[in-house]
Amino acid sequence: MDTPVLDFLRRYADGDTARLHMPGHKGRGPLGCEKYDITEIAGADDLSAPEGIIAASENNASSLFGSRATFYSAGGSSQCVKAMLLLCARRSASRTVLAARNVHKSFMHACALLGLEPAWLYGGGASLCSCRITPGALREALDAAAGKPVAVYITSPDYLGGTQDVAALAETAHGYGVPLVVDNAHGAYLRFMEGGAHPLGLGADLCCDSAHKTLPVLTGGAYLHVGAGSAWDFEHGAREALGVFGSSSPSYLITASLDAANAALAGGWPEKARECAARLDSLRAALRGLGVPVAETDPLRLTIDAFAAGYTGFELAGRLRAARAEPEFADRDRLVMMFSPDNPPDAYGRVLAAFEGFVRRAPFAPLPAPPEGERVMSPREALLCARRRVPADEAVGCVCASAAVACPPAVPIAVMGERIGRGHAELMREYGVAYAEICVT
């Protein structure tokens, strides 16, 4: 597959043109990548209104993912989440969006900016990061709704690697004439794995992928996809919706890396990803043989339920670091690692070495999901209110003014516009959130 953006960039970087345009480093600097960092010069196209090489590159990505349309984002999935909700809001008289509670904070920012009201779906076996929704639970919520919501919104895979039954949830939502929107930030690679677990192949109408999380793409590179079979024409206006929430000077380096990834995805990368998943399966089996409680996750993630063996995730992260390996995330209960084909073979050996001699302890109960909050004001009212910052313990009884959350995992413990309860404050302490923004009336 061709790489029109990357090819143009290389020609320009290797040429002898005087750079009388932005950016100010003029292609020189200590990082070594400056010569590839350009702006919307002649021939480079424009991500906000592409008609040339960027448009051709996005068409390549669309064919790879099987979407009706794919749009690049240099602002990560956070930009795409806001754009997806704007597209849904424009096609509905409702202001309510039905969402699984484990949303990323960008969802709350989108609700506040767009004047949308979240109606929460609470799943069984939930934690801060995971909230599995059954089709039956979704059906009950849709039946109970005062009107047809803007969309049904889910996260799959979640930060711990848990997945939703996207196909069944799509069928249920469509039965009520409501689009299904999926935050697939952690699952771009699923399109290229056996089994077809990517949301686009399971009926999602809109889907965002953080390409940089699992594909060979620079940080900030993401896709907004429109499902091929969607009954809604979300591709019309998607570009402008992304522009509402993105910079007018998007990174050309990030755009070029999305373009370069097309060649890899059309080439040998998918086979390498499947080989990576097989190696990871072997590592999981070896760890379980040592008594390590490995969770069931999406194929390229390794999550350890530390609590089930009497350890904290922080303790297990320390073992990894001693073996010269850095995890994606650790909290009191779990340790999360993310793999890709670009991990060298010794990465697997280092993880295994970190757990040699592992001895289980008495298990303890994992932290619960955030309690349901009392809605006092809308997310928009909370975002715009006067506020002050207080220690989390002193915030009990006050109205949350922002997404009180650590990043990662960037899932709100308390929701803006809802009253902060004792349970929220306790979870904030456990997740290292020392302060909360509260509304001042």
H or E element, residue 259: helix 252-266
Q: Mean of the pLDDT values across residues 258-265?
A: 98
Q: Mean of the pLDDT values across residues 102-122?
A: 96
Percentage of the chain lying above the pLDDT 70 cut: 99
Q: Mean of the pLDDT values across residues 180-204?
A: 96
Say what the pLDDT of residue 126 is.
74
Full set of structural domains in the chain with CATH: 4-92+155-266 (3.40.640.10), 270-354 (3.90.1150.150), 374-439 (3.90.100.10)
Q: Quote the Cα angle for 424-122-398, to 5°.
A: 25
Say what the pLDDT of residue 371 is.
93
Say what the pLDDT of residue 235 is.
98
Say what the pLDDT of residue 408 is.
79
Indicate if the pLDDT at residue 43 is higher than 70: yes
Q: Judge residue 363's burial from the number of C-beta atoms within 10 Å of its C-beta, 0-12 exposed, 13-18 middle, 19 or more buried.
A: middle
Say what the pLDDT of residue 195 is.
87
The confidence band for 404, taking pLDDT boundaries of 50, 70 and 90, is low
The helix/strand/coil state of 64 is helix
Q: Mean of the pLDDT values across residues 80-102?
A: 97
Question: Over the chain, what is the mean pLDDT?
Answer: 96
Indicate if the pLDDT at residue 328 is higher than 70: yes
DSSP labels, 290-338: TT--BPP--TTEEEEEGGGGT--HHHHHHHHHHTT---SEE-SSEEEEE
Say what the pLDDT of residue 196 is.
85
Q: Mean of the pLDDT values across residues 10-17?
A: 96
The confidence band for 323, taking pLDDT boundaries of 50, 70 and 90, is very high
Tell me the C-alpha distance between 173 and 98, whole Å: 10
Q: Whole-prediction pTM value? A: 0.96
The helix/strand/coil state of 96 is strand
Tell me the C-alpha distance between 245 and 224, whole Å: 13
User: Locate tokens 């909360």: which residue?
Assistant: 436
The confidence band for 144, taking pLDDT boundaries of 50, 70 and 90, is very high
Say what the pLDDT of residue 403 is.
78
**How many CB atoms sit inside 10 A of residue 42's CB?**
7
DSSP 8-state assignment for residue 228: T
